[in-house]
Amino acid sequence: MCGRFTLTADPVDIKEAFPWLEVPAEMAPSYNVSPSQPIAVVPNTGENKLDFFVWGLIPSWAKDPKIGNRMINARGETVAEKPSFRAAYKRRRCLILADGFYEWHKQPGDSAKTPFYITLESQEPFTFAGLWETWYSPDGSEVKSATIITTEPNEKIAQLHNRMPVILSPNSYDLWLTPNEVSADKLDPLLKPYPAMEMVFHPVSRFVNSPANNTQQCIAPVA
């Protein structure tokens, strides 16, 4: 599962990491991105433009948008089959920008779980594999939403959790972002754990447990 993440890089650093991407001139850093909040996505519309969608996929057929609260993640092993995700997997894929994410793990002798902050060793921004949808409310207003695909963990993340988000390598972006329909047999090989040797993590304060907290304290290492 991936239930919280960060995007703290400023637009200049994001543009440097993704030179092909149209990036807004101003973006506020977020140290505690939580479900139902706006997340930075690149949908496969062919525009290579950064946009902001609600985190929590709302299928087009949904009667109640609150279903999105249960759709923040999609399991890579079943994403091609589940009614909530299979159409988006074929036709509506996106990159979700991040530079770190959190997992909670119960330490020996501790009564509560400790949050850990996980990043690439390079500390550079990266992208989760995502899916997106457009939902129309009864009054005709439009809501664009997205979900993060997860997979089994690599050997490093397995120390903390039994799932991890799919982090896509740059050489997979063209296929993932093609506006054309793509079959599962071509996409499934991309849904794999990111190399453990390129990732690092450290424990952080339970300050991050509250979605209301969104400062550098969320990612600061603790003993």
Q: Which fold has domain 5-218?
A: hypothetical protein yedk fold (3.90.1680)
| pLDDT exceeds 80 at position 109 | no
Positive or negative: CA dihedral 221, 23, 3, 120? negative
* Average pLDDT of the chain to the nearest whole number: 96
Q: What's the length of the chain?
A: 223
3-state secondary structure of 48: coil
Give the pLDDT of residue 25: 92
Nearest one of 99, 130, 107, 95 to 4, comparing CA atoms: 99
| Dihedrals phi, psi of 5, to nearest 5 degrees | -155, 180
The pLDDT confidence band at residue 208, using thresholds 50, 70 and 90, is: very high
| Residues labelled catalytic | 2, 103
Give the pLDDT of residue 123: 96
Give the pLDDT of residue 181: 97
Give the tens place of pLDDT for each residue, 130-162. 999 999 988 888 999 999 999 999 999 999 999
Give the whole-number percent of the chain exceeding pLDDT 90. 94
Give the pLDDT of residue 110: 80
DSSP state of 83: T
Give the pLDDT of residue 65: 92
- In whole angstroms, give the CA distance from residue 61 to residue 122: 41
- In whole angstroms, give the CA distance from residue 30 to residue 28: 6
Give the tens place of pLDDT for each residue, 68-101. 999 999 999 999 999 999 999 999 999 999 999 9
- In whole angstroms, give the CA distance from residue 18 to residue 153: 26
The pLDDT confidence band at residue 106, using thresholds 50, 70 and 90, is: confident
The pLDDT confidence band at residue 218, using thresholds 50, 70 and 90, is: very high
Q: For the chain, how long is the longest CA-to-CA vector?
A: 53
- In whole angstroms, give the CA distance from residue 94 to residue 178: 10
Give the pLDDT of residue 1: 79
> In the beta sheet, which residues pair with residue 199?
120
Give the whole-number percent of the chain exceeding pLDDT 70. 100
How do 126-136 and 100-106 pair as beta strands? unpaired
